[in-house]
Amino acid sequence: MDAIEAALAECPVEHEIVVTSRTVERGLRGVVEATNFLAEKCVAERWDCLWIVEADVEVPKHALRNLLQGDADISLGVYPNHREDLRLMAGYFVEQNNCVQPVVHSVFGLEKLEDRVFTGMVWAGIGCALIRRRVFEGLRFVYDLREYRRKLGVHDQLFLFEAQRLGFKVMLHGDVVCGHLPEWPLKKLEDINSGC
């Protein structure tokens, strides 16, 4: 929570902090339910946008400021995968043999990301995502992915693919590199975020 408060101090905007614990005992289903609960709240209360920061993600203090820049409908910070050595959970969607696959592109090595923003059919985890209300006016996250499993792996990739298919612009912010706990605390990534 300290990292979020530091980001809000650097970019003072009218905000409401909502913490949900639905994910604790329900795993991925809980993540989807909590995110959809917040999406519905965003639409019902007419928020401009929803900034999602998952519990295991540490945001740098410039995160909100950078995510708010530009005209994207969805702005994504990036962070290392839990299981891989400094490999980001980010890439492009690529169509091969009438099947869409999320591919981690070699351009997403951490040393090449600083001060870079990517658009196109991009994807990342939504552990640090700023999503405009207009996206949620017609789209939600899906938990039951059986029909999509052949196309895409998980709820956040499917959401981002569908949003872009519907014409929403997604920006992947290489200038917002977040920590991913416990393996990658923000302190380990300070050099990458310096100067942002």
Does residue 148 fall inside a structural domain?
Answer: yes
Report the CATH number that the domain containing residue 26 is assigned in CATH.
Answer: 3.90.550
Does residue 195 fall inside a structural domain?
Answer: no
CA dihedral 81, 83, 85, 88 (to 10 degrees): -20
Find the domain containing 90 and state its range: 2-184
**Residue 140, pLDDT above cutoff 80:** yes
Does residue 116 fall inside a structural domain?
Answer: yes
pLDDT in tens, 39-51: 999 999 999 999 9
> Domains in the chain: how many in total?
1
Does residue 164 fall inside a structural domain?
Answer: yes
DSSP string of 149-192, one letter each residue: TTT-SSHHHHHHHHHHHTT--EEEEEEEEPEETTTB-GGGGHHH
Task: Note the pTM of the prediction, 2 decimals.
Answer: 0.85
**Residue 107, pLDDT above cutoff 50:** no
Does residue 53 fall inside a structural domain?
Answer: yes
Q: Between residues 107 and 91, which one has the greater pLDDT?
A: 91
Does residue 191 fall inside a structural domain?
Answer: no
Nearest Cα to 28, choosing from 160, 175, 105, 141? 141
pLDDT cut 90: percent of the chain above it: 31
In angstroms, the CA 154 to CA 120 distance is 19
